[in-house]
Amino acid sequence: MSAVRTINIGLCGLGTVGQGVWKHFGRMRPELESRLGARIVLRRAAVRSLSKARGVRVAASKLTGDAMAVATDPEIHIVCELIGGTGIAREVTLAALSRGKIVVSANKALICAHGAEIFAAARRNGGHFLFEASVAGGIPLIKAVREGLVANRFPRIYGILNGTCNYILTKMEELDAPYPVVLREAKRLGYAEREESLDVEGWDTAHKASILAWLAHGVWIRPEQMIVEGIERITPADFRNAAALGYGVKLLAIITRDFSTDQISVRVHPTLLRRDSVLARVSGVFNAISVTGDVVGTTLYIGRGAGQDATASAVISDIADAVALLLHGKGAHFMGEEEPPALGGAVMVPPERIRGRHYVRLTVADRPGVLARVATVMAKNRISIASVIQSPSELAGAASLVLTTHESDERSMRAALRALARLGSVREAPLHLRIGDLGD
């Protein structure tokens, strides 16, 4: 491969991201070719519909309806898998890797579900798998963790990894608007998908957290092993309550590892952050990630985490690294060459070892003795109440009780929430948020 002077690239998928890659690569190609010392050609693109109108001009001779033909074409050296999902995307990726090709992907769901298989295929056949665009869009987070911070172990990585949720939460707070109203506007603007559940229920963030946990700790943690909670039940009242307590609300991925016990925790949930913290002030579709290393301390990364341009930027960055590898046998650290060290083989921390403070909002019957019964439930589960805010509820004859707690553990908190939901005076399921004492 070192003698190759013309590098051919094939795109599998020409949707939003694929069109962004085609557009920006065409604009940047002369500069990239000069910098890398090769002729770089976008040779073919596989699409679902050959007749569909697109925002970029692509010659009909370069289009095909057969993604596998692109993956197996011996004249194509770099395959960009931009299809999404875990079906044909997996088949295309494995087919390309089995032929020793370099695959560039933005597909976090694929990596989360089949990462071990993909990296094994790359090692077995001399291929490489690059995936900077799969986490945090245009922020070079994977390169930072994998290369720039290689001297570190990571006791804590946390941050905002989903721009859709961050946009919705930002607008709910700014406009004092309910979730359904802001969601509709986010869809109209193209910030939310027509089917929004993957984003707002936390699963997109969980896929990204799984990749980060593997990069940092060498262990695959599936979303079903994590705490994963979304933003659908948060109301404008929760933002007002949080503000009164000195907090903002963000959907966070939190990855922690206790190296003394070798236990790891990966969680995704809405979190109350101090209003003066950096992440609490990150608004709109932006992402922000705090990475704490045992050597470097804490580093922070902020930028556009999604969208055509941000994701295309990360894909093109991987393409440039892939070209450097093909021409010179060197470049960035290329995934697929080796597994990251397991660092002793961390195990998941049990719920009773996950400790923190909590925010609980209850809609209760507005009558004497209710608060006393709520306090009894909390006490029976060894949870100490730190503060209480009482206000009128939109439901007739009801009141809103907001409790914050002193530090307790997840197991006790779950038991208390189940018991509270069974109280006859509690009108709807409790809303539970965690308070992030993360210190960014």
Please identify every residue annotated as catalytic.
Answer: 208
Distance separating alpha carbons of residues 214 and 338, to the nearest angstrom: 12
The single residue listed with the structure tokens 């002369």 is 30
Distance separating alpha carbons of residues 142 and 255, to the nearest angstrom: 15
C-alpha dist (Å) from residue 392 to 18, 178, 363, 429 = 50, 17, 9, 17
- Assess contact for 221 and 117: CB atoms under 8 A: no
Distance separating alpha carbons of residues 296 and 120, to the nearest angstrom: 31
Helix (H, G, I), strand (E, B) or coil at 82: coil
- Assess contact for 69 and 12: CB atoms under 8 A: no
Helix (H, G, I), strand (E, B) or coil at 9: strand
Q: Which of 235, 159, 230 is nearest to 198 (CA)?
A: 230
Q: Which of 373, 367, 382 is nearest to 414 (CA)?
A: 382
The single residue listed with the structure tokens 């875990």 is 86
Residue 38: what are its φ and ψ, rounded to 5°? -155, 160
